[in-house]
Amino acid sequence: MADIQVDGGTLRSGAGDTDAVAAGVAQARDASGAALGDNAFGLMCSPLFLPAYTLVKSAADAMMDSAEKGLRNSATGLRGTASALEGADADAASGARQVGA
């Protein structure tokens, strides 16, 4: 049977990377709000383009909110998994030492 080795530090590092991606998604969402100023499409084109832009922006913001939340949840899960695996490993090692004593 093959050994499975999991390093809690590696999982925590992955969680940090996942948080960094989530921060990038949040920054992109925030930047999309500053993308267009008032009358960006001009007086004549605003009635044509602004409703479509608003609809697409709302959908994109919702998608980015969902992606950020999912990434943050994944990072939390990775940290929890690292802690659980390290705890189980410590318990198994303690049990093995008691059997050997």
Higher pLDDT, 39 or 8: 8
pTM: 0.79
By C-alpha distance, which of 26, 12, 27, 23 is closest to 76?
12
For 22-73, how does the pLDDT look when each residue is reduced to its tens digit (9 = 90+)? 999 999 999 987 767 667 778 888 888 888 888 998 999 999 999 999 999 9
| Residue ranges covered by each domain of the chain | 56-101
How many other C-beta atoms lie within 10 A of the C-beta of residue 50? 14
Q: What is the DSSP letter of 22?
A: H
By C-alpha distance, which of 59, 65, 2, 54 is closest to 29?
65
